[in-house]
Amino acid sequence: MSERAVVTLEETLAALAEGKKYTTLRDILVTMNASDIAAIFDDFPEAKLPLLFRLLPKELAAETFVEMEPEAQELLIRGFSDNELKEVVNELYVDDAVDIVEEMPANVVKRILKQADPEMRKMINEILKYPDDSAGSIMTTEYVSLRPDMTAEEAIKRIRRTGVDKETIYTCYVTDNNRKLIGMITLRTLLLAEEDAVVSEIMEENIISVNTLVDQETVAQMFAKYNWAAMPVVDQENRLVGIVTVDDAIDVLQEEATEDFEKLAGMTPTDKPYLRTGVLETWKSRVPWLLILMLSATLTSMVLTGYESSLAACTVLTAFIPMLTGTGGNSGTQASVAVIRGLSLGEVEFSDLFEVVWKEIRVAVICGVTLAACNFVKLLALDMHVFHTPGLTVPVAMVICLTMIFTVICAKTVGCLLPLLAEKIHLDPAVMASPFISTIVDVLTLVIYFQVARHILQI
């Protein structure tokens, strides 16, 4: 199913809506997946949207609603009667309801909470208490809990009775009288066990749980590591308060990767898709870093002004500045991105500092020597004998190539150190990426270049 097909289908649906062919519309919509319907509804003419939404059967309506963009959700809610809102809200899973509440303006939130069942309202308010991006904020409180003295048969009966409202019934949690988490059991184990097997004897007792306040990215990375379908969330007293399910973990992993990409490129993360972000919003997310980096480039100007006499004595040096700073920037970026990704995958941590630096220095030495050697050949063969670059002599070529080696070593050392230091002082390592490293490396490169030039060329 390509995105192109969705676009064409959208036009068909718009035409049907225009022509008031509601039965046909309904017949088409019920064959579709909630995510795809949501994608179409997001771009649908506002006036027709509530009408179309009302065509959906109750359950599909709730599923579709969850997948829509906040703008379209708000539009729909404002158009809902109290009864309609009640129906949609109480059909939602509580973690989805919380996501929606968090995006809506205060007066809409008030209406939603008023229409929610008391039980639902209590759960929403409970989850809203947890800090942004914590395990508590992405968990759901709708899980199956079992008692340790139940038999497999009783447990399955309980699942059949209470399962319809639970986000997952495949992983169930065993708690004692104080709601303390004592075990975990999958529906698979229950179903494949003897009917009279006792839960406490077949459950998994070595379970890993997370505290409500743990960062959501840590939780998501644990899913990637342990291949689970759900993870229990407990409070300070080890009482079970909720679960995080794998679908939410995937969303977190995707979001966090996107955030890292944006930070890497010097942008403030936004949580909207690219084409839905307005021009001013995009400007706001991009201009601060550009400004900071532009202003910090004052340093490179000062270095260049400081060495003006050397430059005047040997003007050909100017021609190779962008190549040297470029190669330095690229080398530093490679090291920093490798370390940043390693940190966010949990493969590298601050205590590996010496191992990382030692590795980068060795890599830098052979990279630097390779580049310098190739460059030397190229300078002599191409620039001197083909292009006849004025002022380019063998000593100048040596200055350029020596600078190359030192620059690559400095760049890779800075590149791997900065993200590790950022991690240590609890800054996001991703901020220490490409643009930031390049600015520092530019200054270092220029200082190295002119110092080497002064020594070798005596200028």
Within 72-101, which residues bind its own copies (CB under 8 A)?
none
Cα within 13 Å of Cα(350), Cβ side: 11
Q: Is 355 in the site for its own copies (CB under 8 A)?
A: yes
Count the residues of the shown chain that bind its own copies, applying the rule CB under 8 A.
Answer: 121
Joined together, the tokens standing for residue 452 give: 């080497």
85 or 267: whose CB is closer to its own copies? 267
User: Of all helices (H) and strands (E), which one includes residue 61?
Assistant: helix 58-67
Q: Is 389 in the site for its own copies (CB under 8 A)?
A: yes
Parallel/antiparallel/unpaired status of strands 230-234 and 210-211: parallel
**Cβ-Cβ contacts under 8 Å for 181 (sequence gap 6 or more):** 173, 174, 175, 207, 209, 232, 234, 238, 239, 240
Q: Is 407 in the site for its own copies (CB under 8 A)?
A: no
Of residues 33-52, those binding its own copies (CB under 8 A): 33, 35
> Shortest distance, CB of residue 265 to its own copies, whole angstroms?
4
Scanning 14-22, 43-51, 77-85, 322-330 for contacts with its own copies by CB under 8 A, the matching segment is: 322-330
Whole-angstrom Cα Rg for the chain: 30
Q: Is 354 in the site for its own copies (CB under 8 A)?
A: no
Residue 383 DSSP one-character state: I
Residue 294's Cβ-count burial label (10 Å; 0-12, 13-18, 19+) is exposed
136 or 332: whose CB is closer to its own copies? 332
Residue with tokens 């980096």: 293
x-or-dash pattern for its own copies, window 143-162, by CB under 8 A? -------------x--xx--
Joined together, the tokens standing for residue 165 give: 């409202």
Residue from the set 90, 200, 238, 300 that interacts with its own copies by CB under 8 A: 300
> Shortest distance, CB of residue 111 to its own copies, whole angstroms?
27
> Shortest distance, CB of residue 79 to its own copies, whole angstroms?
26
Long-range contacts of 368-372 (CB under 8 A, 24+ apart): 368/404, 368/405, 368/406, 368/407, 368/408, 368/409, 369/405, 371/327, 371/404, 371/405, 371/408, 372/401, 372/402, 372/404, 372/405
> Shortest distance, CB of residue 434 to its own copies, whole angstroms?
6
Long-range contacts of 43-49 (CB under 8 A, 24+ apart): 43/10, 44/10, 44/13, 44/14, 44/17, 44/72, 45/14, 45/17, 46/75, 48/14, 48/17, 48/18, 49/75, 49/76, 49/79
Q: Is 385 in the site for its own copies (CB under 8 A)?
A: no
Of residues 218-257, those binding its own copies (CB under 8 A): 223-227, 229, 246-247, 249-251, 253-254, 257
Residues in the chain: 459
Q: Is 394 in the site for its own copies (CB under 8 A)?
A: no
Of residues 276-295, those binding its own copies (CB under 8 A): 279-280, 282-283, 286-287, 289-291, 293-295
Of residues 101-130, those binding its own copies (CB under 8 A): none
What is the side-by-side strand order in the sheet with 210-211? 210-211, 230-234, 240-245
Of residues 408-437, those binding its own copies (CB under 8 A): 408, 434-435
Of residues 250-279, those binding its own copies (CB under 8 A): 250-251, 253-254, 257-258, 260-262, 264-267, 273-275, 279
> Shortest distance, CB of residue 422 to its own copies, whole angstroms?
16
19 or 57: whose CB is closer to its own copies? 57
74 or 262: whose CB is closer to its own copies? 262
Scanning 134-142, 172-180, 330-338, 419-427 for contacts with its own copies by CB under 8 A, the matching segment is: 330-338
Residue from the set 446, 447, 448, 452 that interacts with its own copies by CB under 8 A: 446
Q: Are 212 and 239 in contact (CB under 8 A)?
A: no
